[in-house]
Amino acid sequence: MSAGLMNDEMTATTQAAEVQISGSDVPRQDEILTPEALQFLADLHARFAGRRADLLAMRQRRRERIASGHDPDFLPETRAIRDDPRWQVAAPAPDLVDRRVEITGPTDRKMTINALNSGAQVWLADFEDANTPHFTNVVGGQANLYDAIRRTIDYTSPEGKRYELGEQTPTIVVRPRGWHLTEKHLTVGREPHDPMAAALVDFGLYFFHNAHELVRRGSGPYFYLPKLESHLEARLWNDVFVYAQEALGLPRGTIRATVLIETITAAFEMEEILYELREHSAGLNAGRWDYIFSLIKNFRHRGGRFVLPDRAAVTMTVPFMRAYTELLVRTCHRRGAHAIGGMAAFIPSKDSQVNEEVFDKVRQDKRREAEDGFDGSWVAHPGMVETVREVFDEVLGTRSNQLDRQRADVQVRAADLLRVDATPGRITERGLRTNVSVALRYLEAWLGGQGAVGIFGLMEDAATAEISRSQIWQWIDSEAALDDGTLVTARLVGEIVAEETEALLAEAGDDGARQRRIEQARELFEYVALSPEYPMFLTVPAYAYYV
């Protein structure tokens, strides 16, 4: 689409807001960062960056209230929205009616093709937790999506193996980065340049280049919105959508968005979030790993009541997680919206016995979700698609979803969402060491440009690494003890970090580049897990390592 198709108001707004591109050129940069696309980004920034900053400040004030002893609750000022039985979200888009299996993954070229050939109904093309914000990934991911939508994408590996699209491919749903992140390679204004909101960069480039083409092909520009903390943040997204559609001459409601409920504060505003996005809403997703991270982060100073046991013990069946997922299904179906289950982090193993146990765990997890009323669920590996499909097929039969299951039997109180102290389990030396090892290994991969990494049989991404380092920080701050009575201290953790770092360096051998990344990973881990002041997101300081 040319700049001439944009309205005059947009052109006038952006003439004084030239976008600067910093850093070395990356492949296909000129195809994606065209003058017209940059003008569109600049206008989004001019219109919405101020509100974004205000909402981020509101987040901080809310965290401070929770830290001071205030428990979150359902909002009295929006009770009328919750009590009104009449309103509904928009009917599902035709290619989002059946979402029983969704696969997540980064947008590198090989992974894009594998995800689109996986047999899932939906592919979550991830610019967030499964990706890293290296500028090559930011621009390259947009180029790969551009090609995939037009079915011109292919890839030949260094070994000569060729990858290309099959006949049937999933519906593409893009997850831009969260509101808290910036894109330092695209700035606006005078010195010092103001970095653009990464969320607007990812959304804007995808929408600008592909919205019309997607509609022409019978689909649409669909998004997953991550890490929202309030319905006001959903309102901001809705206003972005309304303006973007007007600017490109598309009808309101062309965009559809699924919100990840992956923060404890958003859990108290599910209904309001759907309401704010109702003409663009495609449902809610139970973002289980970030949800646990959010709970630890917000209640990290609140003592033993909010201290969780080993990460492996915090399953979806513990009381506070059960309340969260049941409330999500009830809320969605009451309003005609899809409820999508959490990610199955397990990945297939080459050991047949281990594989059998892994697939059994996945079946149990997804059977619970399907029987609870979820309309579909996530997998992180193509090898899990068929297993999850079989489970949902058993429950759905010939239906595309189970929006008719209203779950009026579910009654969740605010206290139910905060029953952290009812979580069974212990803090063990093995759990502590696993947290250290997983976080170090993940950070080493992240610094090398990988955002989703198989570690110890699980697909780890930024959310699971956040849990690992946040648990350690909270255990130290709360003076928690292991099951053998040993206090979790910075000194104890430091000793384990040294041991796990040595093990990683031994694996690296003479690989100098990997050795440097391991040392950087150790430095970064010690900062985000052992600093006196808790860093809100590990990816923010990690981003400083990218030029």
- Catalytic residue IDs: 175, 461
Instruction: Please give the Cα distance from 71 to 119 (Å, whole number).
Output: 43
Calculate ∠ Cα 311-265-377, nearest 5°.
60
Give me 382's structure tokens.
Answer: 């193509």
Q: Is the CB of residue 511 less than 8 Å from the CB of residue 498?
A: no
Of the candidates 367, 473, 384, the residue with the CA atom closest to the CA atom of residue 102: 384
- CA contacts within 13 A on the Cβ side of 178: 22
Q: Is the CB of residue 414 less than 8 Å from the CB of residue 268?
A: yes
Q: Kindly tell me the sign of the dihedral angle through the C-alpha atoms of 64, 70, 73, 77.
A: negative
DSSP state, 230? S
Length of the chain: 547
Which amino acid, 545? Y
Tell whether omega for the bond before 192 is within 30 degrees of 0, i.e. cis.
yes
Burial 106-115 (b: 16+ CB within 10 A, else e): bbbbebbbbb
Phi and psi dihedrals of 73, rounded to 5?
A: -150, 170
Give me 80's structure tokens.
Answer: 């009328």
DSSP three-state, residue 332: helix
Please give the span between the terminal C-alpha atoms of the chain, in angstroms, as a whole number.
Answer: 31
Strand partners, 101: 377
Phi and psi dihedrals of 377, rounded to 5?
A: -155, 170
DSSP state, 510? T
